[in-house]
Structure 1
Amino acid sequence: METNNIEMITKMVIDAINKNEDKGNGFVVPIGVSARHIHLTQEHVEALFGEGYQLTKKKDLMGGQFASNETVTIVGLKLRAIENVRILGPVRSKSQVEVSATDAIKLGMKVPVRMSGDLAGSAPIAIVGPKGAIYLKEGCIVAMRHIHMAPKDAQAAGVHDGDVVSVKADNERGTIFNQVKIRVDDSFTLEMHIDTDEANAARIATGNTVTIIK
């Protein structure tokens, strides 16, 4: 069965479950595990790949975003590096590097846990591409776990943009995640994003589900 068909069936099942649940507690959310990645400005894309360069699409993501074919190397303050870090498009107004806590240790850096876009005072990082390199004085974060929702999903779950909830994974690890930020936008598809550290510790993979327990 094709991946798109599996995703569609999973969504239909989750929608059916949620229609029969009370608001708030019991609302089911699919998981998306987010590996390390980078968002760049057009200026920085050109600094790394050459004048006039445009990111090329590898895979569509939600909200109009896409995983690009382009990858780069990130370098920490102790000159420790991680190669083949994927860039997500389209370009943004600020460049941002998202890593896991394990990545931060490998880079020899102290990286704060932040929501995407909250970059003031975050960690510095160097990025090396095939045509050049850039240095960000701030911009490297460990992404705070969060749930993307369309307005109809937020209404069904009884939550609002900016709320913080807890969720439970009902598997052999029985993990409860606290401090999960709700993000609501018309362009969003229902999905909770956690990083690879969190997913591995809880034995969770993309496509698994968790339940909001508030």
Structure 2
Amino acid sequence: MIQIDKALIEKITEEVKRQIKKYETGIPVGVSNRHIHLSHEDLYKLFGNGYELTKYKDLSQPGQFAAKETVSIEGPKGSFKKVRILGPVRKDTQIEISVSDGFKLGITPIVRESGNIGDTPGVIIKGPKGRIVKNKGVIAALRHIHMPVDYAREHGFNNGDMVTVITEGIRKTAFYNVLIRVSDKYNLEMHIDMDEANSSGLKNGDRVEIVKK
């Protein structure tokens, strides 16, 4: 008859729990490819009066979704086709690209917090029913962490804090000037763009640690 070492089983169980807990610590990462947020006015100009976006899939943040619809954007030197629209519609149209995307378009995106589009470059946007010339709205999004209120309170963070974040792996990286955005409408997640993800070897779902406030 096989003897069961209960003490050993308990020890193994605790070690498994410890490893799972270790894996679950930190901030999950979401990598953003180029995309666009449209105002109602611009949506109608591009797709027709009264048009409504069609949900393709939900995003990690509650209420946010990727639409089935895409547009083309054009700069002085080049263009991108099939740029995904993210919903819901916003007050102002905003185009989020990486710095390397700007090289192809022939513009220099300014690193800004989402929504802060004053004195930023513009592009031409083309949809199936129209064409718009925007004189502003293109940014490279300031890396940031969406943080629920209860998590922020528990860990001593406030909306608008700037923190330093480190990654693990062969391309271990320190990200400075990461903005904390606190809301009861957020799920915990750090957002970076494709340039930042490629430089640090990060992908969706990887976890990072805040090391300095």
Do they superpose with TM above 0.5? yes
Partner of 2:165: 167
The alpha-carbon distance between structure 1 residues 159 and 133, as it changes in their structure 2 partners (threshold 3 A), is same
Task: For residues 182-201 of structure 1, give each alpha carbon's deviation from its aligned partner in whole angstroms, at most 9, with x where no partner exists.
Answer: 00011100000000000011
Q: Displacement of 1:157 after TM fit?
A: 2.4
Count how many residue pairs are aligned between Structure 1 and Structure 2.
Answer: 194
* TM-fit CA distance, 1:81: 0.6
In the TM superposition, what are the counterparts of 1:31-180 in structure 2 within 5 Å? 31-61=29-59, 62-78=61-77, 80-180=78-178
Q: Give per-residue Cα distances to partners, 1:71-102, cap 9 Å, x unaligned.
A: 00001133x11111000011100000000011
Question: 2:41 and 2:152 mapped to 1: Cα distance?
Answer: 36
Identical-pair percentage:
48
2:195 matched residue in structure 1: 197
Partner SS for 1:174: coil
Q: AA paired with 1:146?
A: H
Question: What is the DSSP-based 3-state SS (H/G/I as helix, E as strand, rest coil) of the residue aligned with 1:104?
Answer: helix
Note if contact 1:14-1:28 (Cα within 8 Å) is conserved in structure 2: no
Larger radius of gyration: 2
In 2, Cα distance between the equivalents of 1:16 and 1:40?
Answer: 40
Does the 8 A contact of 1:77 with 1:107 survive in 2?
yes
Q: Which runs of 4+ in 1 moved over 6 A?
A: none
Counterparts of 1:92 and 1:146, CA distance in 2: 19
- Secondary structure in 2 aligned to 1:68? strand
Gaps of 5+ in 2: 1-17
Structure 2 distance, partners of 1:152, 1:14, is: 25
Give the stretch that moved more between structures: 56-65 or 191-200.
56-65
Aligned residue identity for 1:161: N
Q: Which runs of 5+ in 1 are unaligned?
A: 1-12, 20-26
Task: Give how far 1:52 is off.
Answer: 1.3
The CA RMSD measured in Å over matched residues stands at: 1.9
Question: How far apart are residue 51 of structure 1 and its match?
Answer: 1.4
Taking structure 2 as the reference length, the TM-score comes to 0.87
Q: What is the identity, as a one-letter code, of the residue corresponding to 2:26?
A: V
State the one-letter code of the partner of 1:123.
Answer: P
Q: Structure 1 residue 125: deviation in Å?
A: 1.1
